[in-house]
Structure 1
């Protein structure tokens, strides 16, 4: 097994996850099987209870693991399936060591950070790195390990020490270190500064680790003189200093670093040619490289826009909806449309906000009305929900394509209950425990006192109902994507929720035209909602964004973008979009 550790310096959020994913993708293009591990040095057991505004989205895996968003990057780039153990936290490690101490595994010993905690970290990595991540069932050849945070942080010190020991445990030819650092541009002349990178490499070396690759993040291509200076003062060859400039899309990063010879370096440094790779794997890797190259070319050629309004409550940090954003990009590429994403804070759409912030209220409604499609993603709590309900109503009444995910399905049901079924006091138990008509209720098996890991999580089946074969758009989308066959009526997707549509009201909804075309195995839990007399009005209780891939878009997202593109053709007198869309800004990953 070969291991590549990715660390970061100067600042956090510098793009270690994208760099790690890009290296993994390149290794796959030469036929290697790759897995990935993310180390997060916080004390939380997992990311499940962390605020999206502070830490970005919570990504959910097949086994129900609530993990860091970088595991989503790994799965999307590498097209692999990871487990919750691929996300290591300080909380998990200390919990494991304490449990073993209580069982008597360390009987007679004083349990210490070194060696007991650091040994537990190394053993965890070796165990998880050997888990198959694709349909072949074969063990991976290479494991990419991303160390979260910044080198020098107090909380990451035990992990750095564990990695210092680990390099000797596995041997020189089996361990390499890539360090991602910031090269800021200072002053009116735009001078690139190498001192921060020199400092962070010096810090790394003082801790017993030496970088084999230095990925220099900069807004522009690294100057030759600066590259030479970093090479000289950081004790690496010039070919080991990579210029990772800002690009229009993160999809460009693998090809950007490939052009700089990173694969040739890793071949020699890790003796990759000693790994036995089948001809089928080599051919598969070559095909992947061609597909990815075409993907980046297609991305840059897109010109005809499709405008999507994302109505959420965490829009101040766009990483809160990272998988949703990426899924829309995947579908936009397939539909050959340039994605213009308008971020709308749900609270600004609420009637009571008109007095508090009339300008934002007006601008938000203008953005919503100028969109080709409206998407309401998942979320928790009461803030902004009335704005989401208003957005769902506008989409339903004006025949604008609508996709609701998790809470997005629930608010569409509430809106339908109020304005079509006449239940004016309809609400969710989450939002109003005293509501007269609770059309969305807490699932009976879910804890109401403990929050961490207690939701309905992970891969679950959804069964399409009889009678939907001829008209259901969402069913046809899954059939066309070969996610289901005409003889197989179920599809599997990842879930993350603790509330569901109240089964007691379902017959009333369906009598009024809101159909639940997909349900769980019992038929009592509503999974997919669809309006029959609408171009595209669909809600899913599951989160289809978690399984979307750049080369394999999620069927609900693909259908939504296709419908939005068709709506765009029919629209007239639409306002010109503002220049704040995804495709109109550099993606500073």
Structure 2
């Protein structure tokens, strides 16, 4: 996989792109996104402004219609862009907000080329991959890398990750585009990383460098020569292997970086810093040494503290996630990261267990009693229960059963998107008395339609047709748990991704029975936050939006922070404010 880094020196006018391209060999999924994100956070802490672009070589326009089992979760940006989950890593590591243009796909490139062809831009010419497609790729990179960041500053560095591995036919236009780009911007503005797996067969225990040598040879055959080789391995590189790789791959031995499996991803930037990566990058790009002067003695101290804190947690909180895609953790990556962030701040060690929702249903008891028993055993031992977002009817009744358990047994509960809708359905069935109520997504002909399609959305097309992006939620009940968690603001702004909503015509009747809708949209028609009062339940909260998309390692999402605290304490507003580091006002006003 390729993960180029495009940088632009802000002290030059106009700033020419500096491109540092990290290519990947042998296999995909070896942590290239984390390594690229780590480089970004290192440069950020050394005083540079960093942005990123994720390039995916598939023909889809975006990631919105992917199955979570194939690509993991769909990450949503402020502007409603549905993108690859790696952009979530970049936002969390860089603490910045990206846009849909920061995710580039082959589909977007060909769409743009065809639009130009239809408009007559290529009139009289044969439109070809080279130079027309490769030119559009380079233009896209240059334009995005020069746009202001969310803080209003121009980027010094733009980290770009290109999916696939060296030799993949889908990636060839991008590889060729960057081959041309290195001459366009000059070698002093172009830095190439090659991320490669170093396998260690169990039969001999000896780490093998040959796969890396082969992948570098193929990369060089395509016209790109690596400046750095990042070796991914289970254990630290064995003595002499780095020198061997350097000799056969034509790089200095100091430019062979070793990244083995670590106790947490927060240690990756620290490991790269120990190998003097930033000074070598600084030297290659010929950046002004004066930029070092105002730096603190230990630029990555906060990451050191974060990594140390992660390994020093002792008190455990057991959270059970009841979901539909539990076979792949990446399907709930941002939720998992948000729980980790909040537990770090709360001082609790996270023990997260997954329960397949369908295994909680009565049908599972008849078909597979052992799995049914195990699922309920896990659920009943939870300190807190979380029901995340999702689509489709599979597992719906199991999720409703889990929510009923949380409500009746006073177990802390947090629902997200679909989790809110199902919490309302469960309450209406078992408290209000509407036994036949449901969502039109599950049963369009149900007796009482508690959750309905949003009328303005398309019912025939799937991609990009939901209510997407950052939107405002206004607190209508100031005494609510949710309002306290956010620091008692008038409103919050969070990211959405849904096409169903609570039926506004039934809200008044539902609230008469004790369920509180404490947050509405700005028009007061859509229910954004619901909860039970503290006298009825210690912590029963659900939101229509996706707070996991704005959670950061040093600034966790407030609802997740509450979820991490309530199982092991009974906090009041004053205790919560004094014991926790509340988020800054970015996104929470």
2:274 is aligned, of 210, 234, 259, to: 259
Distance 1:453 1:547, change over 3 A: same
SS at structure 2 position matched to 1:185 = coil
Matched residue, 1:519 = 520
Matched residue, 2:379 = 368
Structure 2, gaps ≥5 residues long: 1-7, 9-17, 572-589
**Per-residue deviation, 1:134:** 3.3
2:451 is aligned, of 436, 440, 443, to: 440
- Asked if 2 retains the 8 angstrom alpha-carbon contact of 1:58 and 1:66, the reply is yes
Moved over 4 A (4+): 274-279
Scaled by the length of structure 1, what TM-score is found?
Answer: 0.92
Match runs of 1:297-312 below 5 Å: 297-312=308-323
**Per-residue deviation, 1:272:** 2.5
- Asked if 1 retains the 8 angstrom alpha-carbon contact of 2:314 and 2:348, the reply is yes
Provide the rounded CA distance (Å) in 1 between the counterparts of 2:180 and 2:197: 27
**Per-residue deviation, 1:219:** 0.6
SS at structure 1 position matched to 2:235 = coil
Matched residue, 2:155 = 140
Provide the rounded CA distance (Å) in 2 between the counterparts of 1:312 and 1:265: 45
**1:374-396 CA deviation, whole Å, 9 max, x = no partner?**
00000000011111111111000
Across the aligned residues of Structure 1 and Structure 2, the Cα RMSD in angstroms comes to: 1.4
- Asked if 2 retains the 8 angstrom alpha-carbon contact of 1:60 and 1:458, the reply is yes
For the pair 1:156 / 2:198, whether they are aligned, the reply is no
Matched residue, 2:225 = 210
For the pair 1:46 / 2:49, whether they are aligned, the reply is no
1:242 is aligned, of 250, 257, 277, to: 257
**1:430-461 CA deviation, whole Å, 9 max, x = no partner?**
01111111100000101010101000000000
- Asked if 2 retains the 8 angstrom alpha-carbon contact of 1:335 and 1:561, the reply is yes
Match runs of 1:47-62 below 5 Å: 47-62=63-78
Matched residue, 1:429 = 440
Match runs of 1:187-226 below 5 Å: 187-226=202-241
SS at structure 2 position matched to 1:446 = coil
Provide the rounded CA distance (Å) in 1 between the counterparts of 2:436 and 2:293: 63
**Per-residue deviation, 1:6:** 2.2
| Larger RCO: 1 or 2 (CA < 8 Å, sep 6+) | 1
SS at structure 2 position matched to 1:186 = coil
**Per-residue deviation, 1:29:** 1.4
Matched residue, 1:409 = 420
- Asked if 1 retains the 8 angstrom alpha-carbon contact of 2:46 and 2:299, the reply is no
Matched residue, 2:554 = 551
Provide the rounded CA distance (Å) in 2 between the counterparts of 1:127 and 1:351: 55
- Asked if 2 retains the 8 angstrom alpha-carbon contact of 1:440 and 1:499, the reply is yes
Provide the rounded CA distance (Å) in 1 between the counterparts of 2:515 and 2:22: 49
- Asked if 2 retains the 8 angstrom alpha-carbon contact of 1:80 and 1:134, the reply is yes
For the pair 1:528 / 2:518, whether they are aligned, the reply is no
**Per-residue deviation, 1:67:** 0.2
Provide the rounded CA distance (Å) in 1 between the counterparts of 2:415 and 2:541: 6
Provide the rounded CA distance (Å) in 1 between the counterparts of 2:173 and 2:51: 23
SS at structure 2 position matched to 1:189 = coil
For the pair 1:477 / 2:485, whether they are aligned, the reply is yes
For the pair 1:181 / 2:192, whether they are aligned, the reply is no
**Per-residue deviation, 1:277:** 7.7
- Asked if 2 retains the 8 angstrom alpha-carbon contact of 1:3 and 1:145, the reply is no
SS at structure 2 position matched to 1:272 = coil
**Per-residue deviation, 1:288:** 6.0
Provide the rounded CA distance (Å) in 2 between the counterparts of 1:288 and 1:394: 47
SS at structure 2 position matched to 1:37 = strand
**1:158-199 CA deviation, whole Å, 9 max, x = no partner?**
000001111111111111111111111113331111111111
SS at structure 2 position matched to 1:191 = coil
SS at structure 1 position matched to 2:545 = coil
Distance 1:149 1:550, change over 3 A: same
Matched residue, 1:69 = 85
**Per-residue deviation, 1:14:** 1.1
**Per-residue deviation, 1:564:** 2.0
For the pair 1:5 / 2:21, whether they are aligned, the reply is yes
2:185 is aligned, of 158, 163, 170, to: 170
**Per-residue deviation, 1:7:** 2.0
Matched residue, 2:392 = 381
Matched residue, 1:497 = 498
Matched residue, 2:368 = 357
Provide the rounded CA distance (Å) in 1 between the counterparts of 2:428 and 2:376: 23
SS at structure 1 position matched to 2:460 = coil
**Per-residue deviation, 1:565:** 2.5
1:564 is aligned, of 567, 570, 573, to: 567
- Asked if 2 retains the 8 angstrom alpha-carbon contact of 1:401 and 1:567, the reply is no
**Per-residue deviation, 1:275:** 8.2
Distance 1:402 1:185, change over 3 A: same
SS at structure 2 position matched to 1:228 = helix
SS at structure 1 position matched to 2:194 = strand
Provide the rounded CA distance (Å) in 2 between the counterparts of 1:277 and 1:134: 24
Matched residue, 1:293 = 304
Provide the rounded CA distance (Å) in 1 between the counterparts of 2:347 and 2:363: 39
SS at structure 2 position matched to 1:156 = helix
Structure 1, gaps ≥5 residues long: 569-589
Provide the rounded CA distance (Å) in 2 between the counterparts of 1:531 and 1:322: 28
Provide the rounded CA distance (Å) in 2 between the counterparts of 1:9 and 1:350: 44
Matched residue, 1:19 = 35
- Asked if 2 retains the 8 angstrom alpha-carbon contact of 1:406 and 1:543, the reply is yes
2:460 is aligned, of 437, 440, 449, to: 449
Matched residue, 2:133 = 117
**1:50-89 CA deviation, whole Å, 9 max, x = no partner?**
1111001000000000000000000000001100000000
Provide the rounded CA distance (Å) in 1 between the counterparts of 2:363 and 2:538: 31
Matched residue, 1:273 = 288
